[in-house]
Amino acid sequence: MTVSFDLPHLVAALGYPESAAVNQRIPKKMLVETGAPTTADKRAIADGIDEIHWLAALKPGTVGIPAYQDEARDYLEIAILSINLRPEAKASRIAELVHRAIPYPTFLMAYSQAGVSISLAHKRWAQNEAGKTVLDGDVLEANLYSPERPDLIQQFVDTLPLDKQPRLSLYALYQGWMDAVIALQAAFVTGVFVVSSSREHAIERHKALQEAKRLRVEVARLKAVATKEKQMARQVELNLEIKRLEREESQHLGLLRMEKA
């Protein structure tokens, strides 16, 4: 069984008011000029995107949530965007380029033949260019096509409505969505979708996810080396290191299963 999410479904799930709707098409040329630093990136946008639409602008006046300002960022609005990707598109790279190009924190929905994904990334002021914004941390992605566990996808989508997110500020709202993505990433590992109990809990889970992923890659690399190693002593050394890293990975996975930090 699979769960399919189309654009109307996800827009309805967000639950923003009609007053926030923009519904304008964005020319790909704008993304190429503002978000593509290399020739390869320009080609990725030109060849990978069919259409990009600005669906909504969440502002204090349209959603009743205060703006947020500090020395690092100025969240006056959140942009809701959708892009239709071609089959050959480099989806993750295009998502990063879109987040770089749009000056506001963006809730991005990307559609392709494979399904739909959501991505978010914080923005901050550039240190050396007045008035310019840059990414602040990783781009978080949630792929909403999991034939094995459609229930996890549905539980994630059920957390997205504005009235279920923090309303202290636009920054808090955006962070709430990012924490929901982290919860889904954790759920794909643990099999259980649990909303983080606090910001600190979400940070711990994100760190555990990143570390578990790094360790898994390193274990795979060492196993490949071990299969080619001919010296017995070195094989033993590699196998001991693999077991140590696997135990460490298990500890991080255990943190993902905890409901409280």
Would you kindly state where each structural domain of the chain is located, as residue ranges?
7-195, 204-257
Tokens of 96: 């990063």
Residue 5's pLDDT band, with cuts at 50, 70 and 90, is: low
The pLDDT of residue 14 is 94
Residue 101 · residue 30 · CB < 8 Å:
yes
Tens digit of each residue's pLDDT (9 = 90 or more) over 89-112: 989 999 999 999 999 999 999 998
Per the prediction, the chain carries an average pLDDT of 87
Q: How far apart are CA 58 and CA 68, in angstroms?
A: 13
Q: Indicate the SS3 state at residue 142.
A: strand
The pLDDT of residue 22 is 95
For residue 68, which phi and psi values (nearest 5 degrees)?
Answer: -135, 135
The pLDDT of residue 261 is 41
Helix ranges, the chain (H): 7-14, 28-35, 39-48, 60-63, 91-101, 150-158, 170-190, 199-228, 232-257
Asked whether residue 88 carries a pLDDT value surpassing 50, the answer given is yes
Q: Tokens 């889904």 sit at which residue? A: 184
Asked whether residue 1 carries a pLDDT value surpassing 60, the answer given is no
For residue 198, which phi and psi values (nearest 5 degrees)?
Answer: -165, 170
Q: How far apart are CA 231 and CA 228, in angstroms?
A: 9
Asked whether residue 234 carries a pLDDT value surpassing 90, the answer given is no
The pTM assigned to this predicted structure is 0.83
